[in-house]
Amino acid sequence: MGILARAGDLRLSRRSFVVSALFAGGSLIIAPRLIGTAQAAEAAELNAFIRIPPAGPIELVIASVEMGQGVYMGLSTLLAEELEVGLDQIVAVPAPANPALYSHPVLRDQITGGSVSIRGFWEPMRKAGATGRLMLVAAAADRWGVPAASCRAESGEVIHAASGRRLAYGELAQKAAGMPVPQDVPLKPASAFRLIGKPARRIDTPAKVDGTARFGLDARPPGVAFAAISICPTFGGTLGSVDDAEALKVRGVRKVVRLSDAVAVVADHTGAARKGLAALRIDWDRGANASLTTQELERRADAAMAGDALVAVNEGDVEAATGGPVVEAVYRMPILPHTTMEPMNCTVHVRPDSCDVWVGTQVAGRARQTAAEVTGLPVEKVIVHNHLLGGGFGRRLDHDGVTMAVRVAQQVEGPVQVVWSREEDVRHDSYRYLNLSRIDIRLGPDGMPVALRHRVVGPAIMARFLPIFFKDGVDFDIIDAAESPYRIPNKRVEFARHEAPEGMLTGNWRGVGPTRNAPAIEGGIDEAAHLAGIDPVEYRRRLLSGNPRLLAALELAAGKAGWGGDLGPRRGRGVALMAAFGSFAATIAHVHVGPDGALKVERIVCAVDCGQAVNPEVLHQQVESGIVYGLSAALYGRLTIEQGAVVESNFDDQPVLRINECPEIEVHVIESGEAPGGIGELGTPGVAPALMNAIFAVTGKRLRALPIDTAELSGS
């Protein structure tokens, strides 16, 4: 069961939004009210999704932020499909920060994450488009004195074929706003889609190849100053003393800002700010975490594994299943950074009566809220100018950077851009915290599992992040996919909540819960197959009766990867499956392991069923992207803690995959008319277990910890 299904009462019901329309600012505005709460808003503040001006392109307001996942393209496609306009007739504009108006229908906050943008907006966007189209057609029919049924809409015009008359939407905007708003508008069947599922060039990319795209770091409000920041490296520590004599001598340095836990140097440009920061002599009070090490954190997690846990899933009776061989294993996942390509940054202008924030964030509403809280201003006095995101991956779901930047800006005259160095970005992330999984699979006489127990030890991120996904002590995200997609009569998932030390921020990371659980589940099932003496693909096949979509993905991947064919010496394949985010994926890795343990990932084949694809090319891109992200983590991802601080700091000591290491990647898509599933996170979870299983196939060595330790493979 997926995370959304678990919070089933929150699913969008057909009646939970109504569409309204008005004429304001010279434009026809179509606004579906997404959540039942808001006594919807003043006319001027309607959550417009479509603005049709008298002339010029139609504006489509995109409530989700663009971080590479193609959501401008995706949501525009949904609106344009039903509105009957071409993608060349529209411009996508980001929604302002206002959770009352632009909240995600399921997450109930203005959040982009969890691969739910298309799923949440799939129906409301199309309804908004269809409503607009029907009103425009009605307006034209009225003007011409002909029945609406004799008119049709096409490419931004209403056409009366019998008389050859046509009117552009812009010319009809004002009149259309006065037409009755149709209710329960019918939506096109998939067979009539003209844009959805059809190849079309992304609309956000031309500006990203000529340097004109504006990310948060490119915000340049007039008079902006630049600040470099150093935050206490030890989590939860504070600033002791600072000697800034040398820093203030650096040309271009204007000021040194002291905060309780950080210090920033403000200058004419970032170069001077960084030079000034390097010239500071800082003493930190490292506080309670001063002696913390990775070993100690792992010891604490082990203790949590041995302690109490809550039962989160209980099917059948795992206790009653006795006898037979058992697979028992503990899988260990490290602390991971996000290392988005664009380091954390935020530009802020605090004035006595207002505050402007320029940032690329997945949580614009929360960014606005924190700025209001820090400054004491009413939330309406804070304007968030959301920008493109140079990668999100979950990092920009937290607004700690905004909070910090506002605190700096409070001590600066005029706007200031606070820039985290890569080192600061790595050392002050919202980490994926370490977690452990103990898997316990009991086999029946035929070698197939009769009982599965999975104990998950890790933090409950949802308790703070989205409490609607935290119930009775159980975090729905961290146990997402923990029970496996397999038909096993008795299953139990236990959750032992284990939080990071105070002061260390932990958060969401690409692939969220399913990425945490996949290594243990897919590794464990592989171990069971081996114990039973059954081929790993065949073993999974037998466990998938009742899951035809996942089975089809497995068959497709196995076929494309040539499963079972001989690869020659020191080469092998491994498989991993994933049912999550409303989608299905089968990943097969093909590796070479040298006698010295050197690992080369040669090829990754991934077959996916994501329901109806909104844009097939974006789907391919996203799965490829998720795979590469997963590979970086599987091969290299691990942060070390000493003195309560992260030791690693940049791409030299926390490497990520580079082009010369990138395997051949093949994504195969199963065409489907089912409701669209998530695509942004789907590629990531299967990578690590597919690699570990492939390594086992080559070497007979079962790895149960990430990242992959090639030293363990030498001589195998």
Partner 1 sequence: MAFSLNVNGRSYAIDVDADTPLLWVLRDVIGLTGTKFGCGVAQCGACTIHLDGQAVRSCVTTIESAGTSPITTIEAIGDTPTGHRVQQAWLEQEVVQCGYCQSGQIMSATALLNENPAPEDEDIDAVMAGNICRCGTYPRIRAAIKSAAAGVPAGKGG
Which partner in partner 1, ligand FES, none is near 25 (CB below 5 to 8 A by kind)? none
Q: Which residues have C-beta within 8 Å of that of residue 49, sequence separation ≥ 6?
A: 30, 31, 32, 60, 61, 63, 79, 124, 125, 128
Residue 175's binding partner among ligand FES, partner 1, none (Cβ under 5 to 8 angstroms by kind) is none
Q: What angle do CA 603, 486, 507 make, to 5 degrees?
A: 70
Binds 626: which of ligand FES, partner 1, none (CB < 5-8 Å by kind): partner 1
Minimum distance, C-beta of residue 341 to ligand FES, in the bound complex (Å): 4
CB of 390 to partner 1, least distance (A): 3
Nearer to partner 1, 186 or 651 (CB): 651
# chain residues binding ligand FES, by CB under 6 A: 3
Range list of β-strands (E), 395-539 = 416-419, 435-443, 449-458, 470-471, 474-475, 490-497
- At its nearest, how many Å lie between partner 1 and the CB of residue 69? 7
Question: 124, 343, 391, 392: which one contacts ligand FES (CB under 6 A)?
Answer: 391
Pick 268 or 674: Cβ nearer partner 1: 268
Location of structure tokens 């260390």: 504
Q: Does position 514 bind ligand FES by CB under 6 A?
A: no
3-state DSSP assignment of residue 33: strand
Distance CA 237, CA 267 (A): 26
Residue placing its CB nearer to ligand FES in the complex, 64 or 131:
64
H-helix or E-strand spanning residue 620: helix 616-636
Residue 456 binds which entry of ligand FES, partner 1, none, CB below 5-8 Å type-dependent: none
Kindly state the smallest distance separating residue 144's Cβ from partner 1, in Å. 41
Nearest residue (CB) to partner 1, 106 versus 264: 264
Q: CB under 5 to 8 A by kind: which of ligand FES, partner 1, none does 621 bind? A: partner 1
Rounded to an integer, what distance in angstroms lies between the CA atom of residue 340 and that of residue 211? Answer: 19
Cβ proximity to ligand FES: between 102 and 393 the closer is 393
Residue type, 121: F
Helix-, strand-, coil-residue percentages of the chain, each rounded to 5: 35, 25, 40
SS3 283: strand
Helix 71-83, helix 117-144: angle, nearest 10: 30
160/275 with CB nearer partner 1:
275
Site for ligand FES in 212-231 (CB under 6 A): none
CB 307 within 8 A of CB 496: yes
Nearer to ligand FES, 311 or 341 (CB): 341
Rounded to an integer, what distance in angstroms lies between the CA atom of residue 244 and that of residue 253?
11
Span 422-481, contacts to ligand FES by CB under 6 A:
none
Q: CB-wise, 580 or 627, nearer to partner 1?
A: 627
DSSP class of 88: G
Q: Which is nearer to partner 1, 217 or 697 (CB)?
A: 217
Contacts of 307 (CB under 8 A, 6+ apart): 496
Give the whole-angstrom CA distance, residue 703 versus residue 332.
Answer: 10
Quote the least distance from Cβ 78 to ligand FES, whole Å: 24
Nearer to ligand FES, 284 or 629 (CB): 629
Interacting residues with ligand FES between 321 and 380 (CB under 6 A):
341
CA 408 – CA 264 distance, rounded (Å): 7
Which of ligand FES, partner 1, none is residue 342 near (CB under 5 to 8 Å by kind)?
A: partner 1
* Partner whose binding site includes residue 625, from ligand FES, partner 1, none (CB under 5 to 8 Å by kind): partner 1
Nearer to partner 1, 393 or 433 (CB): 393
Q: Between 269 and 281, name the residue whose CB sits nearer to partner 1.
A: 269
Shortest reach from residue 272's CB to ligand FES, in Å: 17
Q: In terms of CB distance, is 27 or 622 closer to ligand FES? A: 622
What's the min distance (Å) between Cβ of 246 and partner 1? Answer: 13
Minimum distance of partner 1 from residue 270's CB (angstroms): 5
Report the nearest approach of ligand FES to the CB of residue 208 (Å): 8
- Whole-angstrom distance between the N-terminal and C-terminal Cα of the chain? 39
Q: To the nearest whole angstrom, how small is the minimum distance from the Cβ of residue 142 to partner 1?
A: 43
Amino acid residing at 5? A
Select from partner 1, ligand FES, none the partner in contact with residue 211, using the beta carbon and a kind-dependent cut-off of 5 to 8 Å: partner 1
Residue 712 binding: pick among ligand FES, partner 1, none (C-beta 5-8 Å cut-off by kind) = none
Site string for ligand FES, 29-68 (x = CB under 6 A): ---------------------------------------x
Tell me, letter by letter, the H, E, C secondary structure of 537-606: HHHHHHCCCCCHHHHHHHHHHHHHHCCCCCCCCCEEEEEEEEEECCEEEEEEEEEEECCCCCEEEEEEEE
Answer left, alpha or beta for residue 36, where phi above 0 means left and psi between -120 and 50 means alpha: alpha
From the list partner 1, ligand FES, none, pick the one residue 77 interacts with, judged by a Cβ distance below 5 to 8 Å according to partner type.
none
According to CB under 6 A, which residues from 62 to 101 bind ligand FES? 68
Structure tokens at 334: 């490290």
Helix (H, G, I), strand (E, B) or coil at 296: helix
Output the residue with the shortest Cβ distance to ligand FES. Answer: 341
- Closest separation between CB of residue 521 and partner 1, Å? 24
CB of 637 to partner 1, least distance (A): 12
Name the binder of 258 from ligand FES, partner 1, none, CB < 5-8 A by kind: none
Q: Measured from the CB atom, is 285 or 661 closer to ligand FES? A: 661
| Nearest by Cα to 358 from 397, 393, 379, 389 | 389
Residue 231's alpha-carbon distances to 263, 371, 428, 608, in angstroms, are 6, 19, 8, 42
Least separation in angstroms between residue 67's CB and partner 1 is: 5
CA-angle at 656, arms to 654 and 658, nearest 5° = 140
Q: Binds 55, which of partner 1, ligand FES, none (CB < 5 to 8 A, cut-off by type)?
A: none
Helices vs. strands in the chain: H and E counts, helices first:
18, 30
In the region spanning residues 649 to 668, those forming contacts with ligand FES, defined by CB under 6 A, are none
Which does residue 137 bind out of ligand FES, partner 1, none, counting CB within 5 to 8 angstroms by kind? none
Give min distance, CB of 387 to ligand FES, in A: 14
Residue 428: exposed, middle, or buried by beta-carbon count in 10 A (0-12, 13-18, 19+)? buried
The owner of tokens 């603005």 is 51
Q: Tell the smallest beta-carbon distance from residue 414 to ligand FES (Å).
A: 26
Bridge partner residues of 58 (DSSP): 90
Residue 171 CB contacts under 8 Å (≥ 6 apart), including other chains: 54
The two most distant CA atoms of the chain are separated, in Å, by: 85
Which positions lie near ligand FES, rule CB under 6 A?
68, 341, 391
